[in-house]
Amino acid sequence: MSAAFARAGSAAASSADAAAKTSSDETLIRRIAGGDQLAMRTLFARHRVPLYRWLLRIVRDETLAAVLALTANGVGSLAITEMVHNKKSAGKC
């Protein structure tokens, strides 16, 4: 595994460890739908290594696989932020 990818994920993994042990993926997804950023980080931390390995098998480049995996996390976070913003905006109308 790319050392840079391992370092980048270690902070998210440590902050999400306690929640990861007690929440199922289904529960995390429900929390994510409600705009919970910690749930997103927890879910990503739980699945980042399998995602990285899957991407590595496809692209056959450690750096690119790491960038793609981290991008997936960023896109997920942006989507949640936008969804929460849209819910708040709809409530004000």
pLDDT tens digit sequence for 52-91: 999 999 999 999 999 999 898 888 777 777 877 787 788 7
Distance CA 6, CA 28 (A): 22
pTM for the structure as a whole: 0.60
For the chain, give every domain's residue range.
3-92
Residue position matching structure tokens 């929440």: 23
Q: What is the pLDDT of residue 54?
A: 95
Copy the structure tokens of residue 36: 């919970």
- pLDDT averaged over the chain? 80
